Amino acid sequence: MGDAAALYWRLVGAQVRGAWQYRLSFAALTVGSTLATVLDLLAIVVIFEQAESLAGWTFDEVLLLYAATAVPFGIADLFVSPVEDTWEHVRLGVFDRYLIRPAGAFAQVCGDGFQLRRAGRIVQPLAALGLAVSRVDARWSGGRALFLVLTVAAGTAIYGAIWALTASGAFWATEAREVANSFTYGGGFLAQYPLDVVTGSLRRLTLIVPLAFVNYLPVTWLLGRPDALGLPAWAPFLAPAVAAALCAAAALAWRAGVRHYRGAGS
Amino acid sequence: MTGPAAIEVRDVTKEFVVRRRVGRVRRERVVVRAVDSLSLSVRPGEMVGYIGPNGAGKSTLIKILTGILLPTAGTVRVAGLDPQRHRVATARRVGVVFGQRSQLWWDLPLADSFDLLRSVYRVPAARHRANLDAFVDLLDLGPFLGTPVRQLSLGQRMRGEITAALLHDPAVVYLDEPTIGLDVVSKARVREFLARVNTERGVTVVLTTHDLDDVERLCSRLVVVDRGRLVYDGTVEDVKARYAPDRTLVVDLEPGAPPPPGAVRSDGPRHWIPFRRDETTAAAIVATLAGLRDLTVEEPGIEEVVRRMYRDEARR
Amino acid sequence: MRLGSFGGGSFGDSFLPYWQVARRSFQRYATYRGATAAGVFTNTLFGFMKVAVLLAVYRQAAGPGGRIGAFDETDVVTFTFVSQGLLTTMGAYVGMQLAERIRSGDVVADLYRPLHFPGYWLAHDLGRAGYQLLARGLPPVLIGALVFTYRLPPDGRAAAAFALSLGLAALVSFAIRYLVILSGFWVVDVRGPWSLTGFVLMFFAGLIVPLNFFPAWLDRLARMTPFPALVQTPIEIFLGKAPGGAAAALAYQAVWAAALLALAERVTRRAFRKVVVHGG
């Protein structure tokens, strides 16, 4: 396991060094990534131009909700989203190269696909998080601050697992990439808004694809709001367990996927 | 060479399920046997030429040997390990060059690829350094070590790929079309390098190629497959004896000398005398000739030999 | 968001008349059935999610039957699903083979071909747009119609105006993407300008939220750009709520289409001059 991590970081280093050769391009792309997140925030701002509150949530509260998903999403995007490249690798028949080598394919794919510019997607949400924390009345304390940090950590693991799980589909259905996107990017989008807005079935879906545990449940707890899912009060504290379970599922799915790929050929 | 086989393939079969369109809408399931009950044993240090027409299942078997593909039936052992169950352990003892697909990092300088591979294969720094220096020297990689791989010419890239496959001192190396598209000079360099690595380091080499010159110059043993089945497994010389026993002695005699017995064609002083390898030798015929000025021996090249082999197979 | 796939195909089409080029492109995109189905799934799902959020805004801001700008709830629902349908057709992330050809330098060969370079690529893109309008435009709209009620065009003239508007939108969309990709002749990595344009395009075309939600000054700013012509304007014509009337909206689109295509022509010539002088 430690070897896989060491290899991962070496591959990351090689990518970063390579990208650094084209500094101008790197800078432009990082700015682009940062702007992408600004668009999401802009949508919320524009919406609140029209309405005082959204399903009972004030702007500051929605800002906290938004940041509590955008930060973990951005971190997972930086470290795990390269697994999406599997779709391309399998389609073009170059995935074999990873199996030739004496190392796990997952770490290799993520390492090879690392792009430092994606870190731009964390910048604005972090600022938004800071702003939201300062403006929202959540009876902040050391414990609650720790809770928030753990929430972000669990959220990162959940998004990472969703990425890995959906990318495993590449081994079975090479054309279904956009379905995977609807879970990863779609999930990231849906979590930006209070679940009170969406209907029952979509709401319950966020328990299966556990988006509710990323930000909605923890934030409702912090704010002392009733949650639209009607879960018991300790539900938000399940987030780390949910994250761990999802990561295990993702690992199984990936392994099964590779095994299927090796059986069926390309 | 004694000891356990470097590669042991027993009754390996690989079936693929292909969906073919029948008519406009319906699809039928067809089972294709890419490899059909193939058995093969390669001793350590052998250099084996592995040839067959397109679609014969060559790449499929290579993929099975490397663990990329799982066989439908049969057992495989490479360097004593089962690539199916122990992909990672096997991968450490094996090197591969896919002529068509690169193993190197496309956007990075060649030297960076070598360095990354050191981490991938966990090669001790000193050994890696020694190997790299030796290969850089033998293949003349120095001038373009700093060039990004995508900017290299095909010949340069192939030399890089072969180096990459050997840096970690593998016991077995698979070369899939390593000289494809190379110019004459690069081909010669690569062949010389392979011969050297095989003799000096005892690396077992399986060479898949359509260039039969490669086989003739490098390989002591030839394995021929067609439609997933083993068609021939033996030495190059034996192949020629079996499929191309016919040779022609072309002699230049003194002007005015009569055509020798057995000559089927004459053009001035030059005469063509066909004979069979298993019946006599060129030397024996020459001994009967008077006024010999010059001679050559013509025989079917390995291309023609293999062509005859495929034809025979097709008839079956 | 990542760059869309560039679609396959050889450059042997370059000797065919433009109609054939478009048809070939249409057929090529039609072969990606699995990807199209997957894309429809995503677009539709996003449609439902966006509608949920926007309706919540309406309930809050305008009350039932209220309006935001010129739109009421039915308008917003219609807008959301139709815009999701148009996303791929007019959207920012459909790349062209062209970007790859410029990057690899293969495009130099096109200098010597007897074709009108931008014309060829326009035909190619229109073939794609035609297919995606049908295959990815209709399904989300139809699926949304199962759950919600739409506002449909008031009469035949409005419907015809909408059809014309879509055509003009496709032209504007092509011109914008073409110009950005052509910057590849001058800029080493076109991905930077590409994603930047993509974001701005998405926002001002109304693909994030309808322009009616913008504060007045932002709305005015947006309409000074060509981006609303891609999605906002056609749907406004569809709903019969184009500010200033359908004719003015069509004129707005036509003017931008003409201007951008003319610009594309000039930039193309400039690019080829550069290649000839500098040798690719």
Q: Write out pLDDT tens, residues B293-303.
A: 888 888 877 77
- Condensed to tens digits (0 to 9), the pLDDT of residues A172-202 reads 988 888 889 888 988 898 899 998 888 777 7
What pLDDT was estimated at residue C264? 94
Whether C120 has its CB under 8 Å from any CB of chain A: the answer is no
What average pLDDT score do residues B56-80 get? Answer: 91
A84/C2 CB distance under 8 A: yes
Q: Is the ipTM of this complex over 0.90?
A: no
What pLDDT was estimated at residue C4? 29
User: Judged by CB atoms within 8 Å, which residues 73-102 of B form the interface with A?
Assistant: 87-89, 91-92, 94, 96, 98, 101-102
Which of the four pLDDT bands, split at 50, 70 and 90, describes residue B3? low
Reported residue count of chain A is 266
What pLDDT was estimated at residue B236? 81
Mean pLDDT of chain A: 90
* Sequence spans of domains, chain C: 3-274
Please give the residue that has the higher pLDDT: either B169 or B232: B169
In the three-class reduction of DSSP (H, G, I as helix; E, B as strand; rest coil), residue C90 is classed as helix
What pLDDT was estimated at residue A1? 66
Whether C33 has its CB under 8 Å from any CB of chain A: the answer is yes
Integer Cα distance of A38 and A40 in angstroms: 5
What pLDDT was estimated at residue A208? 82
Residue B173 Cα, gap to closest chain A Cα (Å): 12
Whether residue B183 is predicted with pLDDT greater than 80 in this model: the reply is yes
Integer Cα distance of B126 and B129 in angstroms: 5
pLDDT, block means (10 residues), chain C with 280 residues? 33 65 88 86 89 85 73 91 91 73 78 80 90 92 92 89 94 93 82 80 89 90 94 93 90 96 93 72
B26's CB contacts (< 8 A; 6+ apart) are none
Tokens at residue C192, please? 């930077």
Whether residue B223 is predicted with pLDDT greater than 50 in this model: the reply is yes
Residue A74 Cα, gap to closest chain C Cα (Å): 12
Gap between the terminal Cα atoms of chain A: 28
Tell me the chain B residues in contact with residue A6 when contact means C-beta distances shorter than 8 Å.
Answer: 119
CB A48 within 8 A of CB C61: no
Torsion of CA B50, B53, B54, B59, to 10 degrees: -20
* Sequence spans of domains, chain A: 2-260
Whether A2 has its CB under 8 Å from any CB of chain B: the answer is no
**What percent of chain B is modeled with pLDDT above 70?**
97
C209/A189 CB distance under 8 A: no
The residue of chain A nearest to residue B103, with distances taken between CA atoms, is: A97
In the three-class reduction of DSSP (H, G, I as helix; E, B as strand; rest coil), residue C151 is classed as coil
What pLDDT was estimated at residue B1? 42
What pLDDT was estimated at residue C9? 40
Question: Per-residue b/e over B225-260, b at no fewer than 16 CB within 10 Å?
Answer: bbbbbbbbbeebeebbebbbeebbbbbbbeeebebb
Burial of residue B106, with CB atoms counted within 10 A of its CB: 0-12 exposed, 13-18 middle, 19 or more buried: exposed
What pLDDT was estimated at residue B184? 85
What pLDDT was estimated at residue C95? 66
| Dihedral (CA of A116, A118, A122, A123) sign | positive
A197/C53 CB distance under 8 A: yes
Query: Using a CB cutoff of 8 Å and minimum separation of 24, what contacts does C254-257 make?
Result: C254/C168, C256/C172, C256/C226, C256/C229, C257/C168, C257/C171, C257/C172, C257/C175, C257/C229
What pLDDT was estimated at residue A150? 95
Which of the four pLDDT bands, split at 50, 70 and 90, describes residue B292? confident
Whether C32 has its CB under 8 Å from any CB of chain A: the answer is yes
Residue B66 Cα, gap to closest chain A Cα (Å): 7
What pLDDT was estimated at residue A138? 79
Whether residue B167 is predicted with pLDDT greater than 90 in this model: the reply is yes
CB C88 within 8 A of CB C94: yes
What pLDDT was estimated at residue C16? 65
What pLDDT was estimated at residue A134? 93
Antiparallel, parallel or unpaired: β B221-226 and B47-51: parallel
What pLDDT was estimated at residue B58? 86
CB A214 within 8 A of CB A224: no
A181/C42 CB distance under 8 A: yes
| pLDDT tens-place values along chain A, 266 residues long | 678 899 999 999 999 988 888 888 888 888 888 888 898 898 899 888 888 888 889 999 999 999 999 999 999 999 999 999 999 999 888 999 999 999 999 999 999 999 999 999 999 999 999 999 999 887 888 899 999 999 999 999 999 999 999 999 999 988 888 889 888 988 898 899 998 888 777 788 888 889 999 999 999 999 988 888 888 888 889 999 999 999 999 999 999 999 999 988 76
